[in-house]
Amino acid sequence: MALVTGASGLIGGGIARSFARAGAAVVVHGNKGVERAREVAAEIEESGGDALVVTADLGEERECRRLVEEAYGWRGRLDSLVNNAGVQPVQELAGMSAGDWRGMYDANVTSAFCCTQAAVGVMAGQDGGGSVTHIASIEGHQPAVGHAHYSAAKAALIMFAKAAAVEYGERGVRVNSVSPGLIGHPSLASEWPDGVERWGRAAPLRRLGRPEDVGAACVFLASDAAGWVTGVDFVVDGGVSARSTW
């Protein structure tokens, strides 16, 4: 059974559908995008899968605990948590306030911390333990202009996965991260034509990523095939980061 936070978004929806295709029952989390979360759950059920929508404000620690408790209570276990919820505003560093910085960390890092703590509490007590995956970004390795706070937050998620893997391994819980590159969506080419064109040239595989590319990585990391994999950052970027930057 898998819980995917932020599953109302493009990547989160793709992750939820990927788990469903792999045979998992999926808790589809949403907050402001709850209607889209319901659409994702409906798509899963129409394809013969099993899905439950749970709303929660992950800015509140008690809401993170409630989300995990409802997910666990639905099927009596929680095999995989994917911390996908987050925000990605563009803001130049020169005009950034401490409040902007804290807000980014709360949305992208603190929420993942709170959900992870709650999930480990139930995973450690069940047969087979469990798996936690944070959705980071290649910007956690190479920052982008206008994304200083975002890049730093994603780097923190990558390191949090490693630290949690070290401490929670003996409790039967594996913790990893996935760092996607640019994921395409229908309006991206019109919104950012230069970026799409540059990414198409830079990627050795000559295409943008798809939500299901990220989903496949998450399913693998949660599976028995990755039973001896913990503390790693799985880069899913079509080979862009393999290129020299000079």
Catalytically active residues, by annotation: 150
Backbone torsions φ then ψ of 29, nearest 5 degrees: -90, 140
- CA-to-CA distance for 186 and 193, rounded, in angstroms? 12
DSSP-derived 3-state class of residue 233: strand
CA distances to 25, 86, 139, 154 from 97, in Å:
41, 19, 20, 18
User: What is the C-alpha separation between 62 and 52, in angstroms, rounded?
Assistant: 20
- Distance between CA 119 and CA 133 in Å, rounded? 11
